[in-house]
Structure 1
Amino acid sequence: MRLIKGMYVFTTLSIALTLFAGSAYASWAYSFVVYHGNTYVVTDERVEPSQIGSRIGKVTKYSDDEGTYSGNFSNQYPKGTKYYHIIGVKVRDAIAVKEAEDLYVKATYRGKYAGGKNRAVDGWPIVLIALLVLLLAGYYRKKKSIR
């Protein structure tokens, strides 16, 4: 009986530790912004104020730790940093990011940002642990009622 109880505790702890093992923090490989689900890599190239068109968005979430984020996310710029259309350039190719008054840098399109699409996966470890706890509680309750 003690052996079985010990095995359940060991299994529960092993599953919990395995599920949370992927929570280590890491840094991003390059600076970028996300606009409407697209990733734009921040360059050193300046954009003249005369080339700046209308404001198209802003950073809604900042983090310098790798992870899964949604919205207009950036790993370099704080929340509220504004994005602009560059006159004569398709938004699909590049956008301008405002760094300071009359100082804009070009961010070039890299591809779709997959991070925001996987948000539902974030809750699975908690759901699995809760399910395991409920199963174990039911098992012990049933075992006690048999005695």
Structure 2
Amino acid sequence: MRIPFLILLVLLIPVSASATSWAYAFVVWDGYEYKMTDDYITEVGERIGEVTTHSEMEQYGGNFSNAYEKGTAYFRVPGVSTDEIMAVKDGDRYRVAERVGEYTYGSSFTDTDSGVAKGIVIAFLFFGVFLTIMTILAFYYMKRG
């Protein structure tokens, strides 16, 4: 009786491991991804934005960063177009970020579609766990009696 109970208990423990592997530190501004360089500058132009969402584990839309906290400021670099580079406040210095291209967040889903898709996946996972538990219990009771 203890073994099926332990198996059931282990199957009910939620296990969720989801992480995105980043090739480099970056920020997103105005729909474009900027790769952080090892270069710093001393003079910056006007403030043009800030990090609105930070995560080291998941990808988000908007002015997202995998390296900088929410509120970290973005600045123009005098004499250079933001099509090439911009500066990001990094402690008491300004780090150069080089534009690498359009930021492709997720897929063609809208936020609502993505939420619905996640709900469907979760429903299938719960159904799979339910079927597994029922199968284990059925085998246990068939063997027992």
TM-score band (shorter)?
0.5 to 0.7
Distance 2:25 2:31 in 1: 16
RMSD of equivalent CA atoms = 2.4
Taking structure 2 as the reference length, what is the TM-score of the superposition? 0.65
Instruction: Give, in angstroms, the shift of residue 61 of structure 1.
Output: 0.4
Unaligned 5+ runs, structure 2: 1-15, 128-145
Q: Where does residue 104 of structure 1 map in the other structure?
A: 94
Higher relative helix content: 1
SS of match in other structure, 2:114: helix
Equivalent positions of 1:64-103 (< 5 A) are 64-65=56-57, 67-101=58-92, 103=93
- Report if the CA contact (8 A) 1:68-1:118 is conserved: no
Q: Where does residue 133 of structure 2 map in the other structure?
A: none
Unaligned 5+ runs, structure 1: 1-20, 134-147
Equivalent positions of 1:1-147 (< 5 A) are 24-49=18-43, 52-65=44-57, 67-101=58-92, 103-115=93-105, 118-120=109-111, 121-123=113-115, 124-127=117-120, 129=123
- Report if the CA contact (8 A) 1:85-1:91 is conserved: yes
Instruction: Give, in angstroms, the shift of residue 118 of structure 1.
Output: 4.0
SS of match in other structure, 1:39: strand
Q: How many residues align?
A: 107
Distance 2:90 2:29 in 1: 16
Taking structure 1 as the reference length, what is the TM-score of the superposition? 0.64
Distance 1:108 1:58 in 2: 16
Distance 1:64 1:105 in 2: 19
Instruction: Give, in angstroms, the shift of residue 27 of structure 1.
Output: 2.8
> Percent sequence identity over matched residues?
38
